[in-house]
């Protein structure tokens, strides 16, 4: 399962949708990036593969970041995926 997280301007919590396949996650990521690069704001409507009733709509000019992460069944750290948690793990490993 792949999660696409959208960080919006002036909002501390990301919005997330999930895709079952890597290809679907990459296509959604590219759709969002293309909309972000557009000079005109676009309304993006996204749905979730895991919770099919979950839908979000957001204007592209409100998105400040987008990230894809893969949910691993072996992840036991309890941390959410992202750049911050990856950097934190590297510091901890470097100390020990």
Express each pLDDT in 62-88 by its tens digit. Answer: 999 999 999 875 444 454 544 443 444
Using a cut of 0.75, tell me whether the model's pTM lies above it: no
Residues of the chain with pLDDT under 50: 74-77, 79, 81-93, 95-96
Give yes or no for a contact between 88 and 51, defined as CB atoms under 8 angstroms apart. no
Q: Is 84 exposed, middle or buried (0-12, 13-18, 19+ CB in 10 A)?
A: exposed
Could you say which DSSP state residue 39 is in?
A: S
- Domains of the chain, by residue range, sit at 2-95
């Amino acid at each position: 399962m792949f999660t696409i997280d959208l960080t919006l301007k002036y909002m501390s919590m990301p919005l997330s949708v999930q895709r079952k396949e890597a290809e679907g996650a990459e296509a959604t990521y590219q759709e969002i990036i293309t909309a972000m690069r557009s000079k005109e704001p676009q309304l993006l409507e996204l749905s979730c593969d895991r919770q099919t009733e979950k839908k979000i709509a957001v204007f592209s000019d409100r998105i400040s970041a987008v990230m894809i992460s893969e949910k691993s069944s072996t992840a036991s750290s309890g941390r959410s995926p992202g750049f911050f948690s990856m950097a934190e793990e590297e510091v901890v490993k470097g100390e020990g």
